[in-house]
Amino acid sequence: MKKLLSIIITITFLSCGSQKSVTEVKTSKTSNVTDTEKKESLSKNKPILALKENVISSLEYLASDTLEGRNTGSAGIEKAAVFIENFFKENNVQPYFKTYRDSFNLKNIVGYNIVGYIEGQDPKLKDEFVVLGAHYDHIGTAEPVNGDAIANGANDDASGTVAVLEWATYFSKSKSNKRSILFTLYAAEEMGLKGSEHLAKRLKKEGLNLYTMINFEMIGVPRAENETIAYLTGYKKSNMAEKLNSYAEEDIVGFLPQAKAYNLFMRSDNYPFYNAFKVPAQAISTFDFTNFDYYHHVDDEADKMDFEHMTSFINKMIPALEGMINAETKEIKLNDE
């Protein structure tokens, strides 16, 4: 993630099993499933919700030492890019461009955003797009602790990356999206949002009809029980939180008072899309300054993640995303400020 200003540098920043229907998920409020339910759903060809075992598997690979901290331009991030490409292929998520890669140059470094595409099912609404994104890069190395110098970036932001991959899997199987969806994983976020900036400008130049964009940043740890599951940056810039909660039929996304003070809206990959398109483009996180101590630290590892929380969050977001993607009109709008 892009580093915060020096006055807050010490603060950590955000920078398939149930086969139940989405309605059942909203009612049960749980991600736990039985083998019997899984088999019954497979036999009925129902869409597959996120399974904790798959969330664990993907995150453990992306945050493994093999990927050497996923620094943009490194051999490690190339392995991550190949993993994401293969994931999309295996789940019938198509490339939006000629390949999955949106390449860009930073001096002598070549970076790659990975972009998957699921066309909308509605003949009219499919011309409108929703972008779901997260950054898959990290910083490579950090100050060694007990001989370990690899900054694995499990929470930052392998967690958000895995969430986007799981939603790509869901929509590829459910075919429930009226609008078209881009599943976008960015490189060079840690270098100043350079990957998302490149992609946003490219899509704007090509005339993409963007309805909304949501970036997912550090969703690997839970908030306190008395808080909403997640919060939205730039909360007052749009009615996005209100509409997502309405679609989900529960309060998933809330307000974080510190967000404005630390200018979080401008510090994650939603901001280049807001800048380019002037549409609702915001970030959602479950990290809230109190629940994780390892920002840009070698101990940001998979074993620090709460996989029950991650899986529950991913599944609870599905009806919220479906409501946004399938609304007959553009219900999420920017507020007058």
Q: What is the pLDDT of residues 198-238, one digit of tens each?
A: 999 999 999 999 999 999 999 999 999 999 999 999 999 99
CA distances from 325 to 19, 170, 177, 179 (A): 21, 13, 6, 6
pLDDT at 13: 38
Q: Could you tell me the CATH number of the domain that includes residue 307?
A: 3.40.630.10
pLDDT at 299: 97
Alpha-carbon distance 324 to 314, whole Å?
15
Cβ neighbors of 119 (< 8 A, separation 6 or more) are 94, 126, 180
pLDDT at 336: 84
Domain-embedded: residue 16: no
If one counts the domains in the chain, the total is: 1
Residue numbers of the chain with a pLDDT score lower than 50: 1-37, 39-44
3-state SS, residue 143: strand
Domain-embedded: residue 298: yes
Domain-embedded: residue 9: no
Which pair of structure tokens corresponds to residue 307? 């996989």
Q: What is the pLDDT of residues 102-128, one digit of tens each?
A: 999 999 999 999 999 999 999 999 999
Domain-embedded: residue 297: yes
pLDDT at 90: 98
Give the domain range for residue 277: 41-223+230-326
Specify the DSSP class assigned to residue 155: I
Neighbours of 298 (CB within 10 A): 19
Cβ neighbors of 107 (< 8 A, separation 6 or more) are none
Which pair of structure tokens corresponds to residue 111? 């970076």
Alpha-carbon distance 162 to 185, whole Å?
10
Domain-embedded: residue 334: no
Domain-embedded: residue 237: yes
Q: What residues does 103 pair with on adjacent strands?
A: 112
Domain-embedded: residue 90: yes
Alpha-carbon distance 272 to 200, whole Å?
6
Domain-embedded: residue 287: yes
Neighbours of 227 (CB within 10 A): 16
